Amino acid sequence: MKISSTFVCQQCGYQSASFLGKCPECGEWNSLVETKVSTEGLRIKDKGLSVGVEQSLVKLSDVKNQQIRRFSAGFEEFDRVLGGGIVPGSIVLISGDPGIGKSTLLLQSAMRIAKSTTSGQGTTSTTGMRKNQKARDTRDTLNSRDTPVLYVTGEESAQQVKIRADRIVHSSQFTLRLRSGQTVHSLRKTKKEKSVNHEPSTENLFILPATDVEAIMAASEKLAPTLLIVDSIQTLTSSDLSGAAGSVGQVRECAQILQRHAKTSGTPIFLVGHVTKEGSIAGPKVLEHLVDAVLNLEGDGTHAFRLLRSVKNRFGSTFEVGVFEMRDSGMVEVSNPSQIFLAQRISSRPGSVVTSTIAGGRPILAEVQALCTSTIFPVPTRRVTGLDFARTQIVIAALAKVANLALGNLDIYVNVAGGLKIFEPASDLPVALAIASAVVNKPVSDQICAFGEVGLLGELRQVVNLEGRIKEAKRLGFDDFVTPEKFKTLEDAISYAVHGG
């Protein structure tokens, strides 16, 4: 067996025979790491790279349509982002900042799916997708009546996962039992405990603390789970490579192994992905290409609300957003986010304007706030939270030029209440009205909802889904709308909303 050495960039995956201080592909400094690879192992491995069960040529017209039966992820908001539920054989990557709630959300989802399989509800997959009948028979030896859920953790022990499970279902006490002859832990209730219908279940939830991808594949083939969760892909290693966990080679190789397993067995897989300090997914870009869906869990750590956005989805829309609230007991889905974001709004205060923004495919009402004070510095301060800073600067310039507002000696602070982030052009008009209201110290009517794009010349431009925005605002009691449909210029909108006519 011949061992070769190559230097691999940890940012983009560029390979070089010798060490380079700067990667010629992505320009990063000191990012090339030496990796030893077995060429014999690579040749053997290359024989099985094809994804799927069949490897023969087939005409597209001869392919028979199969009805894919999705099953619920345990949350309606989660199902919304996935496009209607989990597709058997799919592989989904979920990323987000540390501590944002990725592991908590997936553990709750696993517990709810485990409950539905125990009760015989919900988790169905396409007939004929699984070929490993021996794996199905193994469930009898595990005393599991239904298909289990396998949660692989490379960052925590089984006891640590149990602590999080206790926090999620605080009213129940769990016992951690080690299966004889196995390394798979089962989080089960004691016989004395009574089952509560509305609580998640750990009856069919199995925990595997492992980082070796081959061991994970063996456990998955033995259990034949309804769902396989891997937390996280950056902690996995393959024995075919000698690189460290999280390196480009290891992440790429482990992702390919998991992808082949998902397509051949029909087991859906959720992968947790780390992010870099810039906010992008750590590892090679090929990781995002290999998976079927890329979801990003985002939010401000100082606020309780979390948004699950679809960045890529082969089985659904990429414009959907799920809204959750982080509590002590875990993630709670928010079915009416507009009412939540406006719950603590103080009425009749200068600098406050309600807008209707599109998050995914649905409108959400949010409060835009502005504070303007006299500056003590030679250069006024501009602080923007939850909005695009460049667009806000353009709106400020348009206000000074078109609306004749003296803003040159004012510190301006703009914020979206509740930690919501709005980056669409429709936020221009509410930002302008909030700043104008704060400058003249006159409140905008509590019945007004504003949205629209502001051009450089002060004109108001139409935005998408006008009817949907108005319908959502009317549902919450707003009956006056400042939109490009009613007002053509920024001056007219300010005159009506701020000056009252």
Tokens 């149990």 sit on residue: 162
Which residues, 6 or more positions from 475, have their beta carbon under 8 angstroms from its beta carbon? 338
Over residues 401-459, the pLDDT tens digits come to 998 899 999 999 999 998 888 999 999 999 999 999 999 999 999 999 999 999 999 99
What pTM was computed for the model?
A: 0.76
Over residues 319-363, the pLDDT tens digits come to 788 999 988 888 999 888 888 888 888 988 999 999 999 987 789
Structure tokens at 392: 């806000």
Contact 237, 213 (CB under 8 A): yes
Which alpha helices (DSSP H) does 236-342 contain, by range?
248-265, 286-290, 337-341
DSSP 202: -
Give the CA distances from residue 216 to residues 37, 68, 92, 249, in Å, rounded to whole numbers and listed in that order. Answer: 22, 26, 17, 18
Tokens 């996962």 sit on residue: 161
Per DSSP, the three-state class of 224 is coil
pLDDT at 292 over 50: yes
| The CATH classification of domain 339-497, taken from the options 3.40.630.30, 3.40.50.300, 3.20.20.140, 3.30.230.10 | 3.30.230.10
Q: What is the per-residue pLDDT for 454?
A: 97
DSSP string, 138-155: HHHHTT-SS--EEEEESS
Tokens 């129940």 sit on residue: 172
Per DSSP, the three-state class of 41 is helix
Structure tokens at 108: 């709750």
Give the CA distances from residue 176 to residues 165, 199, 215, 220, 318, in Å, rounded to whole numbers and listed in that order. Answer: 11, 18, 21, 20, 39
Q: At what angle do helices 428-440 and 490-497 cross, to 10 degrees?
A: 50
Residue type, 169: V
Domain ranges of the chain: 3-41, 69-335, 339-497
Sheet strand arrangement including 410-416: 382-385, 410-416, 362-374, 352-359, 448-450, 480-482
Q: What is the CATH number of domain 69-335?
A: 3.40.50.300
Contact 482, 355 (CB under 8 A): no
Which alpha helices (DSSP H) does 294-353 contain, by range?
337-341
DSSP 212: B
Of 467, 416, 471, 473, which is closest to residue 450 (Cα–Cα)?
473
Residues making up the annotated binding site for ATP are: 96-103
Give the CA distances from residue 90 to residues 227, 279, 447, in Å, rounded to whole numbers and listed in that order. Answer: 10, 25, 46
Residues making up the annotated binding site are: 96-103
Tokens 């799919």 sit on residue: 90
pLDDT at 25 over 50: yes
Residue 86 to residue 113: CA distance in whole angstroms: 11
Confidence of residue 282 (pLDDT cuts 50, 70, 90): confident
Which of 187-196, 459-468, 479-488 is predicted with the least confidence, judged by mean pLDDT?
Answer: 187-196
